[in-house]
């Protein structure tokens, strides 16, 4: 079948491993993997219409609680990596103070992440093991499965088509709706990646990843600017703050350009024009139908 069982099984395996050995101060890659695999599992559950089942719903609720804690740590990891790249003449003290504040926040949030994993990790790992069987059964990977493979494929395709339509909205992207738009981009990317490795959707999936990353980077720089404003004391006179503002504007323009370019190229959305009756471009259809190829 065109859905890739290994891709579907990967988040379960990775999450069980991470929850078993999460240290008190996890490295950035561990935090990143915890978040991305949880998001992938959430997208797959929705695509396969399993998110309403009580067992899956309980797992997703427990994982969401952990993911949110991990998200706070991940944010500080990214902000610290950005902060060290900002150089403003005469503002070394401000740079040091900002980095120290980010480090202190990171240690505090990491302790909270470790605490919640220590408390709920074992139970969640058990839930992951049990729930993975449901997904395997949906993909006809269990010996006694009575499911029709085409049924799962149909649900995933329907989910992808729904998300593609959502990517044509809103008519105009701006500072208020660009980050929520990123969540739709990420979800569609996760759904399309459920297909077999050899499917011909690589170009479209790559572009979705580029848009997702660009919007996320802009949002992270905005978060860094907000923290800097709280930490640094000499306001608008601070060259470091001015540099951060310039970078935020550059990142916003880049994210907006890539998002609008993707919408024009793949969904024929441009300048607020109502294009809902137009078919998406060929690469989008190719990426979607590959799920059932």
Contact status, residue 45 vs residue 134, Cβ threshold 8 Å? no
Q: Encode pLDDT of 64-107 as tens digits.
A: 999 999 999 999 999 999 999 998 887 888 999 999 999 999 99
Is-above-0.85 flag for pTM? yes
Instruction: Tell me the CA end-to-end span of the chain in Å, nearest whole number.
Output: 8
- pLDDT value at residue 146: 61
Across the chain, which has 293 residues, the per-10-residue mean pLDDT values are 80 96 93 96 93 93 96 97 90 91 96 96 96 84 62 87 92 96 95 70 86 98 95 80 95 98 88 54 69 61
- pLDDT value at residue 91: 80
Contact status, residue 73 vs residue 26, Cβ threshold 8 Å? yes
- pLDDT value at residue 277: 47
- pLDDT value at residue 219: 98
- pLDDT value at residue 1: 44
Q: What phi-psi label fits residue 16: left (phi over 0), alpha (psi between -120 and 50 degrees) or beta?
A: alpha
Residue 165 is part of a domain; what is its CATH number? Answer: 1.40.20.10
- pLDDT value at residue 196: 61
- pLDDT value at residue 136: 85
Q: Which domain holds residue 59?
A: 5-292
- How far is the C-alpha of 67 from the C-alpha of 100, rounded, in Å? 25
Q: How far is CA 199 from CA 3, 11, 108, 194, 288, in A?
A: 10, 20, 43, 10, 10
Q: Encode pLDDT of 179-202 as tens digits.
A: 999 999 999 999 998 876 555 457
The total domain count for the chain is 1
């Amino acid at each position: 079948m065109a859905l890739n069982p290994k891709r579907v099984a990967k988040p379960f395996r990775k999450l069980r491993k991470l929850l078993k050995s999460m240290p008190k101060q996890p490295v950035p890659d561990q935090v990143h993997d915890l978040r991305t695999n949880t998001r992938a599992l959430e997208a797959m559950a929705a695509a396969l219409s399993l998110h309403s089942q009580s067992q899956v719903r309980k797992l997703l609720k427990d994982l969401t609680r952990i993911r949110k804690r991990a998200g706070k740590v991940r944010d500080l990891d990214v902000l610290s990596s950005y902060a060290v790249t900002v150089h403003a003449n005469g503002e070394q003290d401000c740079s040091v103070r900002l980095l120290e504040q980010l480090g202190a926040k990171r240690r505090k949030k990491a302790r909270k992440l470790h605490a919640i994993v220590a408390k709920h990790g074992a139970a969640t790992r058990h839930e992951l093991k049990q729930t993975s069987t449901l997904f395997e059964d949906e993909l006809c990977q269990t010996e006694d499965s009575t499911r029709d493979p085409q049924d799962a494929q149909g649900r995933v395709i329907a989910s992808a088509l729904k998300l593609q339509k959502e990517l044509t909205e809103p008519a105009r992207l701006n500072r208020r709706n660009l980050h929520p738009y990123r969540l739709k981009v990420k979800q569609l990317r996760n759904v399309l990646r459920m297909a077999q490795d050899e499917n011909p959707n690589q170009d479209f999936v790559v572009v979705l990843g580029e848009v997702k990353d660009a919007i996320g980077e802009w949002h992270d720089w905005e978060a860094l600017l907000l923290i800097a404003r709280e930490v640094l004391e000499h306001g608008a006179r601070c060259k470091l703050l001015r540099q951060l503002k310039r970078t935020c504007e550059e990142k916003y323009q880049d994210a907006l350009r890539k998002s609008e370019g993707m919408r024009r190229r793949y969904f024929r959305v441009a300048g607020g024009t109502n294009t809902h009756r137009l078919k998406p471009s060929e690469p989008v259809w190719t990426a979607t139908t590959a799920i059932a190829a």
